[in-house]
A and B are shown apart, each in its own frame.
Chain A
Amino acid sequence: MKAQPIDTFALNLQDDIYRAVYDGTVSGYEKRTESLFTDYPDPDLLRRTAGEIKQHTLENLDTYLVQAEESLRENGARVHWATDAEAACEAVLGIMRENGATKLVKSKSMATEEINLVSFLEKHGIESLETDLGEFIVQIDGDHPSHIVKPIIHKDRRGIARSFEREGLGEYDDAPEVITNRARKFLRHKYLEASVGLTGANFVVAESGRLVLVTNEGNSRFCLAATDIHIAVVGIEKILPRDRDLALLLALLGRSATGQQLTVYTEFIRGPKASEQPEGPKQMHVIFLDNRRTEVLATKCRDILRCIRCGACLNVCPVYRQASGHAYRSVYPGPVGAVLSPLLAGKEFPKLADLPKASTLCGACHEVCPVDIPIPDLLLRLRDKAKQEGVKSPGTPPMGAWSYLASQPTLWRAALAGGKIMNHLPLRMIPAPPLQAWQKSRQLPSWRGGSFRKWMKNRKTKHD
């Protein structure tokens, strides 16, 4: 039995990282619960309603995408379609070259992580700077985010202070206010130097072409304050049909992600600067990213595309809490990542086929999901997919012989009786890996196979 990569990663995780991730996720979960249950009598009803809205949107995505494109064009934005990561990166580069732009400031976006935009642009001589504080720290460290909402949940302020010192942002000082102020000071100039502001989008409304961004630092607003060109990279699943749907989805997003009724900044952007407006980007480009989403839409795992990237499933997941985000070896970690990452991997699915197995199927992720995604069911479907496709990933116990036994009552009863031999064997000496894995931390109770059946039969005789 080969070791599971996520289990090994958890075993080798440094204590301070484990502590940081554990405390961060527990507090995230507690804030979420408090805000939802204080403000609403029946949060579960809201989750289900939001899930239905998103599911309806997915099932009619062909219509809503066309509608969104029309609305965006009417508002004066240009719409681009990118079938894969490369096309999306090329589209950004193309817009920049067309305008002779060489510097870009960007706000936090999982879609751009997914397509690895920053390193692509840097290879092509474009300075691309993350302006979300967490993402900025990830960038200067050459690291990767380990949480969807809290990208540096795995870091502590001492490490960050050392990174700032290394990057020439000031002498070692690990006071959070000092770190924040230094980043702010450094970034202020960059906002002014850049000609392109790049964002993602939390929602794009089909009927109005309204693009919605939520942040807590206001950095996306800065990205669009002094730049001439706004580029938004948006997964095609980010569509909502109507403006009024935002009320519910925004109420759930802030609370589920950080326990906030609303994030500090919520921006509603409807096209580039209008003639009567004094300031604002003169161009607005929306790049809709497919990158295998339509393939996912064609599977029975399509529900995962409802995800609004709140991170609540990461916070509550006992496996994520033990293993941390980097254990998932992909842009999207945790329960949502264990479904989404293997699906978005396409032909590379076998490489990530172990992720859906890293779950006890406890259902906590489903219970907290603001759009009611049945994540455990989807994990199970992917396990079935791996089995059917003959993927040789670690940890699929052979079940054929067992299922034969469990469908032959006579054999089953014989096995129950025969198992008693276990009580007379030194279990710690038997070289069966599953048994050893069990024995490592737990005592196996004594085998009492068939005892209940005997009791039942004896008392029946007595009764008769």
Chain B
Amino acid sequence: MSFIRENRPKGREIQMMATCLCDAFFDDVAIATVQVLEYLGCEITFPEGQTCCGQPAFNAGDWNSSRRVVRHCVKTFAGEQPVVVPSGSCSAMMFHGALLEFEEEPDLPAVNQLAGRTWEVADYIVHGLGIDSWPGKFPAKVAFHRSCHSRGTNSGEASVQLLESIDGLDLIPFGEPEQCCGFGGTFAVMFPNVSAAMGELKLTHALKENPEYLVSGDMGCMLHIGGMAVRERKPVKTRHVVQILRDALRNGGLIS
């Protein structure tokens, strides 16, 4: 299975989609995205009119409502530049989900144009900019949860490649890595028991070797399993991949 789009633009002038979760809860992830990309020489435009990618309504089966939000995205992110997103699931919404719900809509070409230039941030760094190792240092044990929406894309592998290359970073594998953490957007509240049981399993596996950090490319997963870890007073910090990249640069004195 592959959702990888060919011929996506690779320039350093980019538009940034911050995602609604970063807009509401995880501002430091968005800040880290800016800092990391600027370190790499990117010129970032942040379209002020941006809201959400439309995924909540899409997954809930309310495609009419979702299309309204996607149309707003298409308008907000007009242009030819790469659109870089610090989230596997929001980028997948753009390059896969939106195409499904627009199959029979007259403005499918416009949606497809946006789909064809959307990048998840780790994928963009490795395959868009050709960066294959990361400078700085981050001396810590890290468990990486490959978020499900990076299936069929290069994002999981790109994240691992970057993390593994960081000086001092000890990436520890864990059991049942292919299993979902149980977030699933509205699933987490519609199926609270199954969702929590899945989260519990994920935490049990991921924290078995006592990592100091639990890292993912999707803050949705972190909202859920991070929230469970806090509730259960587990001694682990949850981070987005770009936060680790940014902190590695800081630790190495490469940015302030």
A386 CB within 8 Å of chain B:
yes
The CA of A367 and the CA of B178, in the complex, are separated in Å by: 10
Query: Do A361 and B148 touch across chains, with their CB atoms under 8 A apart?
Result: yes
Set A1, A11, A403, A444: member contacting B68, Cβ < 8 A:
A403
CB <8 Å contact, A442 and B224: yes
Please determine whether B71 and A407 come into contact, CB atoms closer than 8 angstroms: yes
Contact between chains at B194 and A10 (CB < 8 Å): yes
Q: Decide if A399 touches B180 in the complex (CB within 8 Å).
A: no
Residues in B71-121 with C-beta less than 8 Å from chain A: 71-72, 76, 97, 100-101, 103
- For the complex, what is the distance from the CA of A407 to the CA of B87, rounded to whole Å? 20
Known contacts A407-B51, A442-B231, A453-B48: does B56 contact A402 (CB below 8 Å)?
Answer: yes
- On whether A396 and B224 interact (CB within 8 A), knowing A402-B65, A452-B23, A453-B23, the answer reads no
A359 in contact with B187 given A10-B193, A447-B24, A449-B23 (CB within 8 Å): yes
Complex-state Cα separation, A8 to B184, whole angstroms = 18
A445/B1 contact (C-beta < 8 A), A358-B191, A409-B51, A438-B189 known: no
A319 to chain B, nearest CB (A): 6
Separation of A441 and B18 alpha carbons in the complex (Å)? 27
Q: Decide yes or no whether B192 CB sits under 8 A from chain A.
A: yes
B residues in contact with A406, CB < 8 Å: 20, 51-52, 54, 68-69, 72
Chain A CB within 8 A of B186 CB: yes
B69 touches A380 (CB 8 A): no
Q: How many Å lie between the Cα of A4 and that of B193 in the bound state?
A: 10
In the complex where A367-B151, A399-B56 touch, is A447 in contact with B34 (Cβ < 8 A)? no
Tell me the smallest distance from the CB of B98 to a CB of chain A, in Å: 12
Contacting pair A384 B61 (CB below 8 A): yes
Contact among B69, B148, B228 for A362, CB-based, below 8 A: B148
Enumerate chain A residues within 8 angstroms of B69, measured Cβ to Cβ. Answer: 403, 406-407
When the two chains form their complex, are residues B152 and A363 in contact, meaning their CB atoms are under 8 A apart?
yes
Tell me if B65 and A400 are in contact (CB < 8 A).
yes
Any chain B CB within 8 A of the CB of A364? yes
Give chain A interface residues in 408-464, CB to chain B under 8 Å: 409, 412, 416, 419, 433-434, 437-438, 440-453, 455-456
B57, CB-defined interface residue at 8 Å? yes
* Interface of A (DSSP majority class): helix
Q: How far is the CB of A254 from chain B (nearest CB, A)?
A: 21
Tell me, yes or no, whether A377 is within 8 Å of chain B by CB. yes
Q: Does A204 make an interface contact (CB < 8 A)? A: no
Whether a CB of chain B sits under 8 angstroms from the CB of A346 is no
Docked complex: A1-39 residues within 8 A CB-CB of B: 1, 4, 6-8, 10-11, 26
- Tell me which residues across on chain B come within 8 A of A384, comparing CB atoms: 61-63, 101
Bound together, the chains give a CA A159 to CA B188 distance in angstroms of 34
Taking CB atoms, residues of chain A closer than 8 Å to B193 are 7-8, 10-11, 322
Is the beta-carbon distance between A26 and B59 smaller than 8 angstroms? no
Give the complex CA separation of A358 and B186 in angstroms: 11
Residues of B within 8 A of A182 (CB): none
A419 to B25, CA, bound (A): 10
Flag whether A397 is at the interface (Cβ < 8 A): yes
The interface bits of chain B over 190-222 (1 if a CB of A lies within 8 angstroms of the residue's CB, else 0) are 111111111101000000000000000000000
Nearest B residue to A387 via CB reads B61
**Cross-chain contact B60 with A397 (CB below 8 angstroms):** yes
The residues of A that contact B58 with a CB separation of less than 8 Å are: 380
Cβ contact within 8 Å between B192 and A440: yes
A316 at the interface (CB under 8 A from B): yes
Rounded to whole angstroms, the CA-CA distance of A459 and B15 in the bound complex is 17
* Interface of B toward A, CB cutoff 8 Å: 1, 18, 20, 22-27, 30-31, 34, 46, 48-52, 54, 56-66, 68-69, 71-72, 76, 97, 100-101, 103, 148-149, 151-152, 176, 178-180, 182-199, 201, 223-224, 226-228, 230-231
The 3 closest A-B pairs by CB, nearest first: A383-B61, A360-B184, A442-B227
6 examples of A-B residue contacts, CB within 8 angstroms: A358-B191, A387-B60, A419-B24, A441-B227, A452-B23, A456-B46
